[in-house]
Amino acid sequence: MNTKPRLTGEPIMRILCKTSENLVGYLYQWNNGDVQPAWFDGAMADVRYEPFIRAPEQNPADPKIPRSRQQDLTHLEKA
């Protein structure tokens, strides 16, 4: 058991019912590393966990273009 206090937490996964595919809760990760499910209507046994899809990181040069789609131009820089 972790002795550090839980101060902040963020949802890291969705908890879905295996049979209905309904969202039944979220899995939270706390600042101290603990993970804890937060159920909407009580704990369920037959569930699956689905990670969130992260939005692409924005490029400071052009926020409209995700960083992963921009070319690496460092090879064009002169030494």
Tell me: pLDDT of 72 over 60.
Answer: no
Phi, psi for residue 67 in degrees, rounded to 5: -60, -35
Domain locations in the chain? 9-51
Its pTM surpasses 0.95: no
Q: How many Å apart are CA 79 and CA 76, to the nearest integer?
A: 9
Q: What is the pLDDT of residues 9-62, one digit of tens each?
A: 999 999 999 999 999 999 999 999 999 999 999 999 999 999 987 666 666 666
In this prediction, residue 32 carries a pLDDT of: 93
